[in-house]
Amino acid sequence: MRFVFFVARRYFLSKYNTSAINIISFVSMLAVMVVSMAMLIIFSSLNGFESLVKSLYGTFYPDITISINEGKGFEKSEGRIEKLASLDGIEAFSLVLEEKALLSAEDKQLIAMVKGVDEKYTKVNRLTDKIIRGGYSLKDTFGRNLALIGAGIEARLDLNVADPYSQLKVHMPKRTKRKERLVNKAFKTASLKPKGVFSIQQEFDSKYIITSLPFVQKMLNYNHNYLSSIEVRLKNKKDLKHVRMAISDIYGDAYSIKSRAEMNQALYQVMNMESWAVYCLLTLILVIAGFNILGSLIMLVLDKRKDIFIIRSMGGQAKDIRQIFLLEGVLFSGIGAISGMALAFVLIALQQWLGIVKIPGGTFVVDAYPMDMELSNFLLVFCTVLIISLLSSWFPSSIASRQAMELKGQY
């Protein structure tokens, strides 16, 4: 094997009689280097955006959400609540009731989701970290109801949390069997004082307002035990499967116990599909680069015809000839891949630390493109290059092996 590696290394470093071989070999290595670098940079960028999106969704969505399978809500059971509180893996949980409502401020109107929560709500998420104006409070000292609104709702309704006279009116349909002929009698209306503004991303900012649970229950004419969901925060995210099974045993099959990923399943599937689509596209470009390797090796086999005969005459076997040219192809691809991976590592690290490439517009949640390097991406790229190089080198090495046998018979 040392002899095979020695010959392959000498061929890799030596100048060939035909300059076209040098050019094609250099182009092959350059193509592998550029594609390997591009794959890692794009993978790291997708990982960065995925981590950012998961972080943003983790700000609003809890680790586990308990809801009813059929219907909009359910009656709270004190016995189940006590069992839920006794589970070791749960850090906190919050009782929630949410419903769509018509919001109005002076002459502006908007349909949004009103989310009523209890006093433990801030313990199940990081929403307070995203408050950009005002503060988090659901009732004032006089017992009046307050609200935390999204930045999109604030802008569309032209609200000002700093204005003590600013009021937000909430209109919800009355839950009665009798149909009202007048529109104003078909809705129940109450006022909220905007106390704070949060900004996560547009999906949440333009859709949600947060207020007290009793306020929403009263607006919908529900009793104080009626809920739409229970939001749970775990002590350790690794215990998700175990805690979920324990919660399922408490609530039974009539209830849905979903993780954050399951609550946003479509989004997570799209992000995974994007990664695989990019991988397939760039792998196709690597396959094209593999044809360059194949062409350069075939020309190398023709150029080293006499060397093949000499090796054969010295006792070299046909398999040794095959291994030499297989290893030659791996060297072409390996050097290109390692160079591309090293360059990608440097560029990704610089982007992570310095944020060189900025996101234009200045309206996104981050200023620069996020990057997140993962070892699995490096291994995937290297293995892909290795497999393609072996496949590209197999045909020329087989030609060299057959040629060695033919030359042995001629001389």
What is the pLDDT, as a whole number, of residue 266?
A: 76
Lowest mean pLDDT among 244-258, 297-311, 355-369: 297-311
Other CB atoms within 10 A of residue 230 CB: 25
What is the pLDDT, as a whole number, of residue 407?
A: 52
Record the pTM: 0.73
Pairing of strands 108-117, 208-212: parallel
Q: Is 208 exposed, middle or buried (0-12, 13-18, 19+ CB in 10 A)?
A: buried
Tens of pLDDT, residue by residue over 127-164, are: 888 999 999 998 887 888 899 999 999 999 999 888 88
Tens of pLDDT, residue by residue over 85-132, are: 999 899 999 999 999 999 998 889 999 999 999 999 999 988 888 999
What is the pLDDT, as a whole number, of residue 9?
A: 63
Q: What share of the chain is helix, strand, coil (3-state, %, to 5)?
A: 55, 20, 25
Residue 400 pLDDT > 70: no
- Closest listed residue to residue 53, CA positions, set 202, 231, 207: 202
Average pLDDT in the 176-191 region?
66
Helix (H, G, I), strand (E, B) or coil at 75: strand
* pLDDT top residue among 27 and 158: 158
Q: What percent of the chain has pLDDT over 90?
A: 35
What is the pLDDT, as a whole number, of residue 182?
A: 47
Residue 365 pLDDT > 80: no
Tens of pLDDT, residue by residue over 198-233, are: 998 888 899 999 999 999 999 998 988 999 999 999
* pLDDT top residue among 407 and 6: 6
Q: Are 197 and 48 in contact (CB under 8 A)?
A: no
Element (H, E) at 29: helix 19-60
Reported as a pLDDT band with limits 50, 70 and 90, residue 330 is: confident
DSSP 230-255: EEEEES-GGGHHHHHHHHHHHH-TTE
DSSP 95-118: EEEEEEEEEEETTEEEEEEEEEE-
Lowest mean pLDDT among 214-218, 272-276, 308-312, 374-378: 308-312
What is the pLDDT, as a whole number, of residue 120?
A: 93
- Closest listed residue to residue 33, CA positions, set 347, 315, 408, 354: 347
Distance CA 226, CA 77 (A): 10
Reported as a pLDDT band with limits 50, 70 and 90, residue 315 is: low
**Phi first, then psi: what are they for 30, rounded to 5°?**
-65, -40
Residue 321 pLDDT > 80: no
Tens of pLDDT, residue by residue over 66-92, are: 999 988 899 998 999 999 999 989 999
Helix (H, G, I), strand (E, B) or coil at 228: coil
Reported as a pLDDT band with limits 50, 70 and 90, residue 411 is: very low
What is the pLDDT, as a whole number, of residue 116?
A: 95
Domain boundaries, the chain: 2-58+267-410, 64-260
Residue 179 pLDDT > 60: no
What is the pLDDT, as a whole number, of residue 312?
A: 63
Residue 267 pLDDT > 70: yes
